[in-house]
Amino acid sequence: MYCYSCGQQLPDSASFCPNCGAKTAIPESTSSTYNPPGNSSLSQQMSLRQENIGELDRIYSYFLPKAPLYDEYDQLHKEMKYCNKGNTGLLIVGIGVIILGFFLASSELGRSYLTVQGLLVGIGIAIIGLLAGIIMIISYFVSEKKRKVKIQTKVARIDELTMELTENYKLFGPCIVGAEYSNPRILNALRNLITNGRADTVKEALNVMLDDSHKTQMQLQAELQTKSLNSIRQSSAISAGANVATAGFCAADFFVGLI
């Protein structure tokens, strides 16, 4: 039976609706043929929800054994985001150290021109800067090689998982969700959206889920922008305070000079 107040499906033995708290008994002022307004459409809505939930349960049971593969697939994609970022900073620092070494060496040679000690110090600085820079540059190329090997390994594994999961999806036959939504975690989220009354069908649940995801991303972007603006304001305030303090010291020095 269904609740006469909110339409929630109830067991026949229920005395109160756990959803809205209303009594399940038909009011005494009504006849035995009492039919609340919209009860027929509400029953159809509940039936549609149950039908979609049942189909999702069937799909979930089929794809659940592959859940570890879906988790591995998602984890590899997350790791790929970090692997694609090369450590170019190490290369830039290495080149900078070499340039700095030669600059300091030339400065030292300029100060102590034609002296043996100045010549040795300048050459030593140049050699140290050159060696340090070369080590950093070599470390960069070694790390780049390792990074490329990792990327190739991860891409190969992603291709294997994609083929296996796609083949498993095809074996299921006609499915009301696309392959990209066949992850058991997503299927469970869709089921919860229908169970909680936010959607009546799988298609509606997908739209709600995508809309929620978009809102979450927009909220995160807004929070990042707010933090960035606050950081800029704090930096400006600190800079302004430093300027005021500098002006104060200058004024103090001026008055001390007058005294």
Do residues 126 and 100 make contact, with C-beta atoms less than 8 angstroms apart?
no
Do residues 190 and 209 make contact, with C-beta atoms less than 8 angstroms apart?
yes
pLDDT for residue 132 is more than 60: yes
Which residues are within 8 A (CB) of 96 and not within 5 positions of it... i.e. 6 or more apart?
Answer: 133
Do residues 139 and 44 make contact, with C-beta atoms less than 8 angstroms apart?
no
Strand partners, 16: 23
pLDDT for residue 115 is more than 50: yes
Average pLDDT, integer, range 107-120 = 71
H helix intervals, 173-201: 184-195
Q: Which long-range contacts (CB under 8 A, 24 or more apart) does 167-171 make?
A: 168/63, 168/66
pLDDT digits (tens, 9 = 90+) for 201-215: 999 999 998 888 888
Average pLDDT, integer, range 110-114 = 65
**pLDDT interval class at 245 (50, 70, 90):** very low
The answer to whether the predicted template modeling score (pTM) of the entire model surpasses 0.85 is no
- Residue, of 200 and 225, whose pLDDT is higher: 200
- Residue, of 243 and 230, whose pLDDT is higher: 230
Q: How far apart are CA 18 and CA 123, in angstroms?
A: 86
CA atoms within 13 A on the CB side of 87: 16
Average pLDDT, integer, range 185-202 = 91
Classify each residue of 61-79 as buried b or exposed e, where b means 16 or more C-beta atoms within 10 Å of its C-beta. Answer: ebbeebeebbeebeebeee
pLDDT of residue 158: 93
